[in-house]
Homo-oligomer: A and B are copies of this chain.
Amino acid sequence: MSKVSIVGAYNTKFGNLVKKNRETGEVTDLASIYDLMLEAGKGALADAGVEASAIGGVWVGSCAPGLFAEQEHIAAFATEIDPIGLRFKRMTRCEDACASGSVALYEAMYAIESGRVDAALVLGVEKMNLLDTKGVTHALATCSFWPEEGGRGMTFPGLFAEYAKGYRDYYKLTDEQLQHMLASAAALCYRNGIENPLAHFGKGGPSDKLGLFTAEAIMALPPEKNPMIAEPLRLHDCSLVTDGAAGVVLVGPNHPALAKGKAVRVAGIGQAGERLAISNRSNMHELLAAKEAAKQAFGEAGISSADIDIAEVHDCFTINQLLCTEALGLSSDGRAGHDYVAGRFGADDKVSVNLSGGLKAKGHPVGATGVSMHALLYKQLVGEPIGLAPAKKPTVGVSLNVGGSAATNCVTVLRRE
């Protein structure tokens, strides 16, 4: 078991943090990528009660800041969180598409475990809404295997539609059955999301106004309100285009911050790569590499699926919520859809999934997502939940964060100390 712990976390408001003047086309950035990084960095350090000068380095997960916000080399900006305390520290960006945040956290862990760093600040950030839909779609499509996928017009809804079709066909589901399963997964996230004050689709937001709290309500939407994006995935099967950032502070054993009683052990991690082009995958009805990552993480932590109290899984599309739920063993293979339809994984279940609202409702600032998953699980485990709390005080929290079409797969087991 790793000896690294999280001792503080922070999550900014997630949302479309841009104002567009429809008449002039002028774009006003209400919270720039720089603002978001500073807020998350300062917030995480304050929550941990760790001085910037005690930090050995900053690791920043960000997916495509060069395309989204014309800023590569974004990690170097992190010095501005505290130009005196962080002077001359190592600043490193990590990128593995939508898993960039988890990967940044793992790299910081290695640095602590190597003995080179006592404490690390891990940030995740993405500013997506400066671009229009076409620009966002292009930026995300560069995370697929461009020559065969993105460059030929394949988008991420299209890639995950392949998984949806693969799952439907393998388990011999009717279209109606699949739609019901996917809508049930979305409805759970929408219900949870309106309790999360930081969510993109929170209280008073679109899912709240439309009352999309049951699969039936989503399925009853007229086609123009829930258009087909990539058959069989509709608009409400897709996560959101979100601006936001999150941060956590990691420390090694014997660090003074552990004495404050707000530490959560990173009990185990797993990272497994799958072939980038989906044409090279063994099958399209399960996430084989995510299962491998879970095996690694559970093995290191000494847990099984049955020990998990709360999980944040990567519902970039509803089909992936099902696949991730199965990859973690929270449902057996082929059963996740039925379990969501049966109303499982709510706050009162034995295991709660996406109490944050998930990528569907909390939002999905791609490079920030992995760090946000860790930050919100941390808050749950130390008894300071942001939004819904599970009925029973949780001890073990697990994140499953995937990058691209699940070519990168990261599983973390967190345990309250």
Contacts and interface: CB of A to CB of B under 8 A. Distances in A.
A89 B273 contact: yes
Interface in A227-279: 271-276
A73 B107 contact: no
A142 interface: yes
A21 to B, nearest CB: 20
A408 B66 contact: no
A83 to B, nearest CB: 6
B64 A72 contact: yes
A92 B337 CA distance: 32
A171 interface: no
A91 interface: yes
A92 B96 contact: yes
Nearest to A115: B113
Given A66-B139, A107-B110, A147-B34, A289 B76 contact: no
Contact of A76 (B71, B97, B111): B97
Chain A contact-residue range equals 35 or more
A90 interface: yes
A296 B407 CA distance: 36
Contact of A403 (B76, B139, B147): B76
A311 interface: no
Interface residue SS majority, chain A: mixed
A174 interface: no
A115 to B, nearest CB: 7
B83 A280 contact: yes
Contacts of A113: 110, 113-116
Contacts of A170: none
Contacts of A289: 88
A321 to B, nearest CB: 21
A125 interface: no
Nearest to A68: B66
B109 A107 contact: no
Interface in A76-103: 76-80, 83, 86, 88-97, 103
Contacts of A103: 92
Interface in A124-147: 139, 142-147
Contacts of A271: 57, 90, 92
A157 interface: no
A150 B142 CA distance: 23
A383 interface: no
A357 to B, nearest CB: 25
Contact of A275 (B67, B75, B83, B95): B83
A151 interface: yes
B276 A143 contact: no
Given A72-B97, A95-B73, A111-B110, A79 B142 contact: no
Given A63-B72, A72-B143, A107-B107, 4 more contacts: A75-B96, A88-B288, A88-B292, A110-B111
